[in-house]
Amino acid sequence: MNNQDRKHNSLCGQLLKKLLLCFVAVVSSLLLVELVLQVRHKGTSVDRWAIPDKRYGFLHRKSFEQQVRYGHTNVTWKVSINSLGFRGPELDLDTPGVLRVLLLGDSFTFGYGVEYEQTFGNRLEQNLSEAGI
């Protein structure tokens, strides 16, 4: 192996070490932020309407209602979970001829931070009803 190859290998090794160090620093920082957020928000209002679940991460507490405060602000909104575990009013699933749409998603789909009337699921229901569907 000549001198130029040794220099090249040395530079590659140094670059690899620096990249690995950056990766470890980023992952460590993210883990620290996650830990701080978990400790800081432990026991907040979200913990009351969400039940931990091994398969899905969490499930909604059925037949539950709560006023939620957003962080350390004065912004509040109401969470109502019906007896089926869905956000919103009670549903009669036995009504014939009624189209039901199940929305699956994240906090945006749930409408985190807004009243039920402002969720896009409720707005979709209103638009479909107005269209005669």
User: What φ, ψ does residue 123 adopt, rounded to 5°?
Assistant: -65, -35
Domain locations in the chain as residue ranges: 1-40, 46-130
Q: How many CA atoms lie within 13 A of 114 on its CB side?
A: 13
The listed range with the strongest mean pLDDT (1-15, 66-80, 93-107, 111-125) is: 111-125
Tens-digit pLDDT profile for residues 23-82: 889 888 888 887 777 666 554 555 588 888 999 888 999 999 998 887 777 888 899 999
Which residue, 49, 47, 112, is CA-closest to 75?
Answer: 112
Question: In this structure, is the dihedral angle defined by the CA atoms of residues 94, 100, 104 and 110, taken in order, positive or negative?
Answer: negative
Which residue, 118, 123, 121, is CA-closest to 106?
Answer: 121
Q: Rounded to an integer, what is the distance from CA 22 to the centroid of its chain?
A: 28
Taking the model in full, what pTM does it have? Answer: 0.60
